[in-house]
Every structure is written in structure tokens, then in C-alpha cells.
Amino acid sequence: MVFSERLYDNVKPIWEKNHNHPFVQGMGDGTLDKEKFRYFMIQDYLYLIEYSKLFAIGAAKASDVKTMGEFAKLLDSTLNTEMDLHRQYAKKFDISEEELENAKPAAVTVSYTHYMLAVGQNGGLAELVASLLPCMWSYAEIGKSLSQIPGASGHEFYGEWINMYADNEFQELTQWTINMLDRLADGKPEHELKHLEEIFLNTTRFEYMFWDMAYKGEMWLTD
């Protein structure tokens, strides 16, 4: 069993909760409240700003030019493809540029991104990839799954989101990242593998918390 299969088996119960979350299901059948998705897009925009930094850190930590180039490709895909989608959605949901720029991150957004950046800055390349992979991998799986629902890909508000993550290019970038973690994990002692497994589990938990936060419109407990 390669390391990614071990990771997948370990987080499968949480993964299934992500797929079955009412926010995700609502995108698939088109019943999701637009205000919930609007809130999600603003928070996800803030998330992606911080998430992009991980790919820049990955390029700096890479030991060969090819890997540096792949991280640069991931950075470009996130900054210019994913965030362009968010800007398009901003217009559909009457989110002004000023609102995006002045938006404040929710507690889960802050906790999730700060955790990943701390792991990425303080650990090695394997730790960095383990921290960022659950977001890519789960979105690739969710996008692919939702795209198989009749009419979902053509939905006026959620179809573009589904199509982007079901797209072959995003699927290939995700698979490259999975393969990279398998290469980095190969030959590591068990205690190091358990550490990587813990990081992967934590950010998988954060993925669920992010969906839940968006569905409930949560900011901070004191708000």
C-alpha cells in the first residue's frame, strides 16, 4: 500500500461527511441558499490568498528545478484560475471588489490557514505537501462527483465551481501532488509517517469545519 492509500483509508469517514454535507449536496442538486454560497466565496477568497503562499514556500523548499516548476504551476493555477473564478462569482453575487478586499476572515479560516502556514514554514517539503493536499484532493473528488449529477455542471450559480474542480487540469495537478507525497514518504520511518498522517488528518478536519462554517455563516463566537 502506498502512503496516499493509507491516508485515504484513515480519513475516509471524514471524507464521506464532506461529500454528504448539506452545503456540498446543495451545490449538486442546486438547492443551496445563494447567501450561503456568497459567504463561502468571500471566505474562500481569503483562504486562497494564504493557501497560495504554501506553493511559494514549496518552490523555495524544493531541491530540483522540475519540482520548483510544478509548485510554480500550482501557484499560478491557484492565483490566476481559482481566484479568477472567485472574481467572476463576485459579480454574480453582487460582491464588490471593495467588499472582497475589506472582508475579514472567520475563525475557522484563520485557524485553518495559520495551521497550514506554520506546518509549511517549520517542516520539510513532505509536511508542507501533507498539509495542503486534503484541500486539493477533496475538491477534486467533490468536483468529479458533483459533475456526474444531471444538470449540476450547467447550474447558473454552482456549475462553474463544479466544472473547475472536475476539470482534467485540476485533476492532473491533484494527482501530481498525491504522487509527490508518496515519493517524499517513501522510506521514511514509521514515526515520521505518523507525523505526516496527523498533519493530513488535521487539515482534513479543517476542510469539514470550513464547509460547516460556510453553511452556518459563522464568524467568531463573540459576533
Q: Residues with catalytic annotation?
A: 135, 207
The Cα–Cα gap between 128 and 118 comes to 9
Side-chain-side CA neighbours of residue 80 (13 Å): 6
Among 218, 162, 138, 139, CA closest to 26: 162
Q: Distances from the Cα of 211 to the Cαs of 59, 148, 160, 170, 214, in angstroms?
A: 29, 21, 18, 20, 5
Separation of CA 25 from chain center: 17
> Residue 202 is placed in which grid cell?
488535521
Assess contact for 188 and 169: CB atoms under 8 A: no
E strands present in 45-148: none
CB atoms within 10 A of CB 124: 14
Q: Please answer whether residues 187 and 90 qualify as being in contact, where contact means their C-beta atoms are separated by less than 8 angstroms.
A: no
* Helices 190-216 and 107-122, packing angle to 10 deg: 160
Euclidean distance between CA atoms 77 and 167, whole angstroms: 12
